[in-house]
Amino acid sequence: MSQLVKAFQNKYKDNPRIFRAPGRVNLIGEHTDYNDGFVLPAAIDRDTRIAATLRHDRKLMIFSLTLDSGLEFNIDEDAPRPRGDWSDYVRGVAHILAMEGYRLNGANLMIETDIPIGAGLSSSAAIEVATGLALTSLAEIEIQPLELARICQRAENEFVGMRCGIMDQLIACLGQPGAALLIDCRNMTTKSVSVDETKARIVLCNTMVKHKLAGSEYNVRRAECETGAGILSKFIPGVRNLRDVSPAKFKEYEHELPSNIRKRCRHVISENDRVLTAARLLEDGDLQGFGRLMTQSHRSLRDDYQVSCLELDQMVDLAEGLEGVFGARMTGGGFGGCTFNLAKPEAAEFFCHEIKQAYFEASGVLPEIYICRTAEGAGEFEVTS
């Protein structure tokens, strides 16, 4: 953080306030959030930090220290258009805040992150939430975490063009050290679920395959789910989306669905059931049972939802053969990025060494491996001189 403060002082000749928002790992519950389902994410100890000061005009000056790139724009522009780069996450949040009636001020913003970009750890939500927190705080606007998450989700849906659910933004706002968060994405209720890091460690394995979700298969999957829910609603009363379909009812009527739509629905409906079971197992300390659900989840994402890829499957297969691993699965939207592995603490370092070597031998690519801890949600750092 000292590097960020010094760089900001050199560029803007002022002492900044520092705001941060974490990345996340989704323990289980993939592609269920936009179906009003259940998810079980945890914030991790990698974050996006924004140094910020007020300006006396209506400009937002934004600069990414990580990417060595910057631009400026007027905060009052009527119809901003996305540029198709990282700045859209900042501009989108500013735009939605203004549309919602929040009176913002001009600001200087400098951004750095240690969340790997495109790795499925929600670097996009982290920059959105950190931006929203910085802009509202500078303008002395009080905003509740749930409202901030909702605005940041709108920015990604409406400005960036990726029809994500609210999971990433909500865990970035509400993350807790030592816990995952069971989120009901229909009514936004949350329940803290303890993660005992003396008995299990979160290890993330980056395949180094970048994913791009906006305008891609992610939006296609969402449309397929909506189609499936529409068909099932003709046979099952009260179905608004796949959240409302039980595994038993799906089995009764799945023959009414086209093949691809049937697969997508099967994943979402079974994954919702896995999330609720997994949360209970985690609370009970049944890590072996939790690991078995991770395996089922990955196979469902690979075979029914078809959002895995060769590299993710390789990484999962290699992990499952190593000692001390409770389970492995892809995490995030898919098509690349990271796998989430749950390992015994005493086996974590051995696992990192072995999986790195095995993946390199299998793919010719040297992966990045991160042993992570659960972390606090978004907030402001106290800068000490």
Q: Name 351's bridge partners.
A: none
Are the C-beta atoms of 29 and 43 separated by less than 8 Å?
Answer: no
Please tell me the total number of residues recorded for the chain in this structure. 385
State the alpha helices, DSSP H only, in 13-115: 87-99
Report, as residue numbers or ranges, the catalytic residues. 168
* CA torsion through residues 324, 338, 376, 268, sign: negative
* φ and ψ at residue 208, rounded to 5 degrees: 70, 15
Helix (H) or strand (E) holding 48: strand 38-54
- Find where tokens 């000061």 sit: 53
Other CB atoms within a 10 A radius of the CB of residue 85 amount to: 11
Q: Which of 119, 179, 175, 129 is nearest to 340 (CA)?
A: 119
| Cα 161 from Cα 159, distance rounded (Å) | 5
Distance CA 231, CA 253 (A): 10
How many CA atoms, within 13 angstroms, populate the side-chain half-sphere of residue 176? 13
